[in-house]
Amino acid sequence: MDSLLNPYYLQIVMFVMINAMLGISIYLTLATGQLSLGNAGFMSVGAYTSALLTLKVGVPIFLAVPAGGIAACLLAAVIGVPTTRMQGLYLAIATLGFGEVVRVVALNLKVTNGALGLSGIPSMSVMTGKGLSELGLGSGVGILSAQQLSNIIVIVVLALMLACLVFFALRLSKSRMGRAFAAIKADEQAAEVSGINTTYYKLVAFFMGAFVAGLAGALAAHITFYIGPQDFSYHKAVEILLFAVLGGSNVVWGPLLGSFILTLLPEVLRPVAEFREMIYGAILVIMMTFRPEGLLKEGTIRFLWAKFNWRAKAEDDNSQPEPEGGR
């Protein structure tokens, strides 16, 4: 129990959640078939906005984080209108360029402190820890130390936000708007001919992706103490894209699974030290060879769901113990 609540693991869980949000952000734009690589750029806008608001203006974190998301969304409005008219690779390149522009701007602005980045950003777990000690829980509760407790509280907050986003994305895919997204993804011209305002829906998807990325960026800034322009280079954009490519981009669970695996993998591979990168690369190549459309697709979900239902039914039907003795 104690080893599971090790701050090391808790930290990894936090990174998993942030990356899962980034996975959702790329899923939202991919849902309309738009390959946008600007998520790292939006993430950095969110991160810088939130960090600067807390550092320079003294805005509390819980207000600064949504402000980061909104700032990313506003910027998406500026660049979204021209770029969503592009398709496929052109959009990918334009958004990748946008990400680089954001990075270079952050590198040269005085307020972002250039290449030195912003340090000493108020951390959510430290703030929670302070709040706890004000409540007289400074020495922890039961077997939990104050640090573990504050980390767990942060994780719960992140988990709630993530759950909301997942719920939203799931409901979205069943809604009128989600159907329109799917239609655009399948065939944009056909969708337009059947009366769907493709520009509108593509823009909405782009905004939603930017907002979620900004939110994730802001949260990331408040769990890592420090942000610099190099954190949001095209490496990050590619990493986010990998979540969707590896996990599968047709269902919400795909990018979630992708982000989960790709965040955990480097940590699980720590014991092999020098061979880490090689194994990481090999696993990606193998996955792509045998499962080019991503780990999860609609068929897989239906298959798993059917199997799960069948089992539940079987257990319901004969309440007698199973002859094999269960699992």
Partner 1 sequence: MFVMKNVAKKVMAGLVAAAFMAVAAGCGGSQQSGGTQAGSTAKIGVVTILSGGGAAYGEAIKQGLELARDEINSKGKTKIELVIEDSKGEKNEAINAANKLIHKDNVVGIIGPTLSGDMFAIGPIANQSGVPIMGTSTTAEGITEIGEYVFRNALPESLAIPQAVKKAQQKLGLKKVAIMYSNNNDWAVSSFKTFEQAVKNNGIEVLTIETFADKDTDFSAQLTKIATLKPDAIMVSGLYQEAGLILKKAREMGITVPFVGNNGFNSPQLVKIAGASAEGAIVASPWFPSKDDEKVKKFVTAYKAKYGKEPDQFAAQAYDALYIMADALEKSGSTTDRAKLKNSLKIVKDFQGVTGKFAFDEKRNPAMEVTVLVVKEGNFVELK
What are the residues binding partner 1 (CB under 8 A)?
A: 3, 6-8, 11-12, 15, 107-108, 114-117, 119-120, 123, 126, 147, 224-231, 266-274, 276-277, 290-291, 295, 299-300, 303
Rank residues 225 and 234 by Cβ distance to partner 1 and give the closer one: 225
Q: Report the C-alpha gap between 297 and 306 in whole angstroms.
A: 14
CA atoms within 13 Å, Cβ hemisphere of 198? 20
Rank residues 7 and 66 by Cβ distance to partner 1 and give the closer one: 7
Rank residues 160 and 306 by Cβ distance to partner 1 and give the closer one: 306
Closest CB 65 distance from partner 1, rounded Å? 18
Closest CB 92 distance from partner 1, rounded Å? 23
Rank residues 86 and 269 by Cβ distance to partner 1 and give the closer one: 269
Closest CB 77 distance from partner 1, rounded Å? 28
Residues 167/174, Cβ–Cβ less than 8 Å: no
- CA distances to 161, 238, 251 from 48, in Å: 20, 20, 30
Rank residues 208 and 241 by Cβ distance to partner 1 and give the closer one: 241
Q: Report the C-alpha gap between 129 and 126 in whole angstroms.
A: 5
Closest CB 173 distance from partner 1, rounded Å? 21
Rank residues 122 and 209 by Cβ distance to partner 1 and give the closer one: 122
Closest CB 172 distance from partner 1, rounded Å? 25
256 alpha-carbon distance from chain centroid: 8
Residues 211/58, Cβ–Cβ less than 8 Å: no
- Please give the DSSP secondary-structure letter assigned to residue 231: G
> What would the two tokens of residue 169 be?
């994305």
Closest CB 6 distance from partner 1, rounded Å? 5
Of 120, 98, 109, 116, the closest CA to residue 43 belongs to 98
Amino acid at 155: I
